[in-house]
Amino acid sequence: MTDTHETNANAEDNSDLPGQGLTREEAFRRMLDGHWRYLMNERKNTDTTNEDRQRHVHGQYPFVAILGCADSRVSPELIFDQRQGDLFVVRVAGNVAGDFEQASLEYAIEHLGVKLVVVMGHEHCGAVKAALSYTEMPGAIGRLLQEIVPAARNAREMPGDLLGNAVRCNVCRAVDTLMANSACIGDAVASGSVRMIGLVYDLASGDLDFQRTIG
């Protein structure tokens, strides 16, 4: 349903308001509009001017927070055709939701006013692929892969493509982990002010495959 604020959102310059003054639905629509431009090769947010840089000095006002994979092929600013400063992006191999990633998303909600939180995985994820054949290994990489192993285990019980299923399970696990472990995120979603989404980006087609929508 569209309210008066939603109808007039695009007509106002709210770029210096927390969350850019958008509701969760407006933020979602803006993200999808940008993705459509990307798919149609009609991107409009390709330049950053000196005026933009000067404005950013005084603060940041993103309208969505994204937990994504560090993979070089998956750049949220390109995929959603947004300007510098529009997206609060947390990137880590395998888009795992550890303590520091969770803290960053909580900061985006509590201090930057974002109303949309997205967990974005992608097809052919190298970290998820490694977790499917995981054997005990030392160091930080081993600890990261251990976070993905439960999703890989669940995927083995599903019919169809193993890696694709594991990628989807991993996104859903990250969403569920954030909802369960973060009172900030859980309360914001429960109150109706924030929407949580889990999706998978297709490298070949550019399409988005939605796995979870909460709020």
The β-bridge partners of 17 are none
CA dihedral 96→17→184→33, nearest 10 degrees, is -50
More confident position, 138 or 60: 60
Q: How far apart, in whole angstroms, are the C-alpha atoms of residue 137 and residue 160?
A: 28
What's residue 12's pLDDT?
58
Convert 39-68 into a string of H (helix), E (strand) and C (coil): HCCCCCCCCCCHHHHHHHHCCCCCCEEEEE
What's residue 11's pLDDT?
39
| Residue range 78-105, pLDDT digits in tens | 999 999 999 999 999 999 999 999 999 9
Lowest mean pLDDT among 82-86, 163-167, 172-176: 82-86
Q: What percentage of the chain has pLDDT greater than the value 90?
A: 83
Reported as a pLDDT band with limits 50, 70 and 90, residue 204 is very high
Number of domains, the chain: 1
- Domain of 174? 4-214
| Residue range 109-159, pLDDT digits in tens | 999 999 999 999 999 999 999 999 988 888 999 999 999 999 999 999 999
What's residue 31's pLDDT?
98
Which helix or strand (DSSP H or E) is residue 154 part of? helix 139-155
What's residue 163's pLDDT?
98
Q: Flag whether pLDDT at 10 surpasses 60.
A: no
CB distance 17 to 61 below 8 Å = yes
Q: Flag whether pLDDT at 6 surpasses 50.
A: no
Q: Which residues contact 108 (CB under 8 A, 6 or more apart)?
A: 62, 65, 88, 114, 117
Please, what is the average pLDDT of the chain?
Answer: 92
Lowest mean pLDDT among 32-36, 49-53, 112-116, 165-169: 49-53
Q: What is the CATH number of the domain that holds 172?
A: 3.40.1050.10
- Looking at residue 122, its amino acid is H
Q: What percentage of the chain has pLDDT greater than the value 70?
A: 94
Q: What is the mean pLDDT of residues 179-197?
A: 98
CA distances from 116 to 43, 55, 63 (A): 22, 23, 7
Q: What predicted TM-score, i.e. pTM, was given to this entire model?
A: 0.91
DSSP 94-115: GG---HHHHHHHHHHHHTT---
